[in-house]
Structure 1
Amino acid sequence: MATPTTVSTCTAATEQGKHVFEIFDYSKHRGMGSGEFIRSGTFSVGGFDWAIRFYPDGFDTYSTNYISVYLELLSKDTRVRASCDLSLVDQTTGLPTSVHKTNLRVFNSGDLSRFAPPSGTFMQRGVFEASAYLRDDHLTIQCITTVRKGPQVSAPALLNEIEVPPSNIGEHLWNFLDAGEGVDVRFSVGGETFAAHKLVLAMRSPVFRAGLFGRMREAKEQLVTIEEMQPEVFRALLHFIYTDSLPDMDGGPEGDVDREMIQHLLVAADRYAVDRFKLVCQSILRKKLDVETVSAAMALAYQHNCDRLKDICLDFITCSSSVMDSVVATQGYKNLKTTCPSALVDLFEKSRKLHKA
């Protein structure tokens, strides 16, 4: 009988958090004096408390011509291995630009190493005040903090234990469809024909279930015509229904996927009530928001009941008056006025509440 051998593993776990510190009325804070600062609210990453310090007139006499920004470890009597990335947000595009990165090091609450970066010369004040980082007396600081936790040691396990691979049912289903085995319904979409399995479609979509197993005409037909949809969109819909994932499209769903294609996929997901597919599309559109595209994304959100995407678009547009002015100047906003006037009502109301605050 073989002697049983056990094995344990050690990995380095990390936790990352992002904090955004918005500062209004910058000109009223300037003149506080060197060494005077504004501190953000306390936020937690990796089980430790942190804050951002902003010095409008510099940290000390050596940095009086600069603005100074620091990440500060607030937790007492502790040492933390961490890194940080401090950025300023462009008030026109809403995109952050990294100004300082601190590599992984020890933050000690008992000395000056609790601060990062080590210098107060974050950005020259003249450069900062002439940049798009300051608009309407408003600036935004973003800090991504990464905490390296202690070693994570696993429980002992048998060395020769049989490893179970991840589920590949989606791959098998797609290969089954690709081979044309057992198909019992066909769809005509934009001049192309697609074969499928009624049972799979019905399991994944209540709309397909009603059409293929209900009393509707489609239930008796072997060839179903799909109107107002592009063939490549229907192909991607089928791929998601069978595999629960998007097909590779110009770099994959998180890469440089064509934005217009994702918009069509969201419409298809809503049409056939494939809710997870709809959320995937919304997530991708959220990551691609900018001044030029936010109006189109908001119109889609209103037309297809995407409440979270709608709120994100409203927040993006109203984050500052300069961003709102840039959005209003786009063709997408002009289209929004025609296609989705209710969105403008909500946008006006949100903007009015923010200005009152």
Structure 2
Amino acid sequence: MMTSKTLSTSAPETEQGTDVFRIVGYSQQRLGIGKPISSGMFSVGGHEWVAGLSPDVDEHLVIAAVLLLLPRNTKVRASYELRLINQRTGLPFSVHKAAPREFNNDNDGSCSAYFLINRSVFEAPPVLQDDCLTMEWTITTIKQPRIPEVKSFPKIVVPPSDSALHFAKLLEEKKGVDITFSVGGQTIVAHKMVLATRSPVFKAELYGPMREEGTELIVVKDVQPDVLRAFLHFIYTDSLPPLDDLEEDDHSEMIRHLLVAADRYAMERLKLMC
């Protein structure tokens, strides 16, 4: 069954900017009703903003730190954060954050936002130092996500296992061989570890209590060299060598001898195949 998998991601586009508003000679500017202190105009997210201070109705207790969107007929969704800076360390002394909201500078909307902060916070050390104070406004504008692009996961084709090819090459190249069979007047070499891994009988003969110390040559009787080669081919590759070129009687004889070898060395899969 053919299957497919795709991926798309929806995420808003954001742009962030910070304006540092430093007020020098704070007491001389006589903040009062109808007398706000305003920053210069700054741009964030392609929109113009102004920050400032304005007293609340009770000018003696509370000050409104105000953020204003300037252009008319403008809408923008944004979150904002105000930090009052410690004049001695340069680090934030008081932090005020607001969740995203819509600034709408038309007749029906609100183009401003504010934090109401006790006047004592503004006018006490270390915020007010040498008659100076510093505010940092950070604004993050948020645009609607674009239609996400759909991407397809790459189809990964895993090739078939080739371990049998590597073991067949190991047997063919005879590198690292450490055991020799003498069969029918011929010698055939192999690797003890491979034989022991595939056959419990070989494992017992080569590494168990049945092993003969110092034996490097194993004489095999009643087996033809071609049968032993075919048997070793199965041990290394888990498959039989091509037998199509054998005559019918020779083919049957080969299978019979392989069945005997499979039974002797407890190669159950080979027995069933034979």
TM-score, normalised via structure 2 length = 0.50
Give 1 or 2: higher helix fraction.
1
TM-score, normalised via structure 1 length = 0.39
Give 1 or 2: higher strand fraction.
2
